[in-house]
């Protein structure tokens, strides 16, 4: 089974490079998650000014455990990264069928 946390972002055209550097598969968020037990990687898809971000993990439990263990750093990174997008929508948590 695999698990995915999925988000939608709207990003100004002039901010794409900075956004992709932080949210892309080799970006700052991926490096933050990389030590996590069960982290499988990040995929970033783009259509115009919209991005879909998919963080894949072995399980929902692995994802939640990592977030809980790193809650303060996650919150600080999230506040800092919010300057890179104009809209964020949490599309949900999904498991492989």
In the chain, how many domains are there? 1
pLDDT bucket at 4, cuts 50 / 70 / 90: very high
Question: What is the separation, in whole angstroms, between the first and last Cα of the chain?
Answer: 8
Query: pLDDT digits over 10-21, tens only?
Result: 999 999 999 999
Residue 21 placed within a domain: yes
pLDDT bucket at 86, cuts 50 / 70 / 90: very high
Strand segments (E) across 23-73: 39-47, 50-57
pTM of the model as a whole: 0.94
Please state, rounded to an integer, the average pLDDT across all residues of the chain. 97
pLDDT higher than threshold 90 for residue 1: no
Residue 96 placed within a domain: no
Q: What is the CATH number of the domain that holds 65?
A: 3.30.70.100
Q: Give pLDDT, residue 87.
A: 97
Domain range for 41: 3-90
Distance separating alpha carbons of residues 39 and 67, to the nearest angstrom: 11
């Amino acid at each position: 089974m695999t698990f995915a946390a999925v988000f939608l972002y709207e990003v100004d055209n002039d901010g794409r490079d900075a956004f992709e550097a932080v949210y892309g598969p080799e970006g700052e968020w991926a490096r933050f998650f990389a030590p996590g037990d069960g982290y499988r990687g990040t995929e970033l898809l783009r259509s115009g000014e919209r991005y879909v971000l998919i963080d894949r993990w072995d399980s929902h439990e692995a994802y939640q455990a990592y977030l809980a263990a790193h809650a303060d750093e996650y919150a600080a990174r999230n506040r800092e990264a919010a300057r890179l997008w104009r809209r964020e929508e949490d599309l949900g948590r999904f498991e492989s069928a």
